Amino acid sequence: MKEKIINLFKFLFFLGLGFLLIWWSVKDLTDADVAEIKSAFANANYWWIGLSLVAAMASHVSRSLRWQMMLEPVAKKPSFGNTLSAVMVNYLANLAFPRLGEAMRCGLIQRYEGIPFEKSFGTLMVERLIDLIILLSLTLFIFLTQFEVLGNFLSERFGMAFNDKIAALTGNIAFLIGLGVLGILGVALVGYLIWRFREQPFIAKIINFGKGFMEGILSVRKVKNLPLFLFHTIFIWAMYIAMTYLCFYSMEATENLGFYVGMAVFVFGGFSILATQGGIGAYQLIVQAVLVLYGVASNPALAFGWLVWSAQTLLVLVAGFIALGALSVMNRK
């Protein structure tokens, strides 16, 4: 009961934050601004939006195929239909509760394919680590190639505050070292207690879960076709960037922006997912801020953010609910 209350509070908090950001983005709009944004939606070329959705779906298919490759060495190769459906339900569930989708994805694979939850969850952690490394690498690349635009903006907005934080941290270095030592001792104590009481049924379950989890994490070393695995990894992120860049051609205000700008919008828009559920409210504001830096007027920039977010969210909703139905149909036996 307590866990349900906590999850409900998280849901309401992130949803409320999203609506707060939506209100913040539109509170100062005049009637003329609203009319301009509506005009941008009305005059958008939705063929390019549709093409961006094809790129997004291609990335989901590729992610499903790569996950099959990771699961095969630790259990068995699941069917493509169940794998793709589980991935789409993952995205759908994350719109409601952050990180709920990952648990549902592994639970569905366990239910319909018999693959232990801890093993599939271990492969998922590897997947998330790969995603994080690539996202941070793209962020660094964008800063290096677009430093003249982005560097000055961040320095003006956050430079002073960042310098103050660094100074505060270096002034408390002894405290940080002590905290690190306590953390290490805490982990060592937990490890000792698990080893000391390893014969207890509850502790034995924890140990077995940990073994399966580690087996899933190490699965990437045992994939049968490493070049194909790397191809899927590159292809997934290439499609991610493409689904943002292709949308540039849907509006007159953005159609002449370069590929690097598309990468910048994608990267910073991606971080908005961490702020609110599905990036609601946060995505529109971040995309608007980035586009304004590159000379796009404020209203078309806001309209572009809403256009891209709405299309991608609609895809997740439709494909996610279809996947839920497909799982029942494909696994009736």
| Spatial contact of 55 and 246, defined as CB atoms under 8 Å apart | yes
Q: Can you give the pLDDT at residue 200? A: 65
Compute the average pLDDT of residues 295-321.
87
Please give the structure tokens belonging to residue 74.
Answer: 């630790």
Lowest mean pLDDT among 180-184, 198-202, 218-222, 281-285: 198-202
Q: How far apart are CA 235 and CA 183, in angstroms?
A: 39
Task: Give, in degrees to the nearest 5, the angle at Cα 230 between 228 and 231.
Answer: 60
| 163 has pLDDT over 60 | no
| 175 has pLDDT over 70 | no
- Highest-scoring range by mean pLDDT, 22-36, 44-58, 195-209, 298-312: 44-58
| 37 has pLDDT over 70 | no
Q: Can you give the pLDDT at residue 6? A: 53
Name the band, by pLDDT with cuts 50, 70 and 90, for residue 18. very low
**What's CA 303's distance to the chain center, in Å?**
22
- Highest-scoring range by mean pLDDT, 6-15, 90-99, 103-112, 221-230: 103-112
Q: How far apart are CA 133 and CA 130, in angstroms?
A: 5
Name the band, by pLDDT with cuts 50, 70 and 90, for residue 332. confident
Residue the block writes with tokens 């045992």: 222
Cβ density class 83-113: b for 16+ within 10 Å, e for less = bbbbbbbbbbbbbebbebbbebbbebbbebb
| Spatial contact of 123 and 216, defined as CB atoms under 8 Å apart | yes
Q: Can you give the pLDDT at residue 194? A: 62
Q: Can you give the pLDDT at residue 21? A: 46
Compute the average pLDDT of residues 233-260.
91
- For 182-224, the DSSP string reads HHHHHHHHHHHHHHHTTTSHHHHHHHHHHHHHHHHHGGGGG-S
Q: How far apart are CA 333 and CA 328, in angstroms?
A: 9
| Spatial contact of 289 and 261, defined as CB atoms under 8 Å apart | no
Residue the block writes with tokens 């953010």: 305
Tens-digit pLDDT profile for residues 60-102? 999 999 999 988 888 788 999 999 999 999 988 887 776 778 8
| Spatial contact of 153 and 293, defined as CB atoms under 8 Å apart | yes
Please give the structure tokens belonging to residue 116.
Answer: 């232990």
Q: How far apart are CA 244 and CA 132, in angstroms?
A: 19
CA dist 45 → 107, 266, 267, 282, 313 (Å): 40, 20, 23, 24, 18
| Residue scoring higher pLDDT (15 or 324) | 324
Residue 82: CA atoms inside 13 Å, Cβ hemisphere, count?
Answer: 21
| 11 has pLDDT over 60 | no
| Residue scoring higher pLDDT (128 or 214) | 128
Q: How far apart are CA 7 and CA 93, in angstroms?
A: 13
Name the band, by pLDDT with cuts 50, 70 and 90, for residue 19. very low
Q: At what angle do helices 117-145 and 46-71 cross, to 10 degrees?
A: 130
**What's CA 12's distance to the chain center, in Å?**
20
Cβ density class 63-80: b for 16+ within 10 Å, e for less = bbbbbbbbbbbbbeebee
Q: Can you give the pLDDT at residue 124? A: 87
Q: How far apart are CA 213 and CA 103, in angstroms?
A: 13
| Residue scoring higher pLDDT (47 or 76) | 47
Q: Which of 268, 292, 302, 272 is nearest to 149 (CA)?
A: 292
Residue 254 φ/ψ, nearest 5 degrees = -120, -5
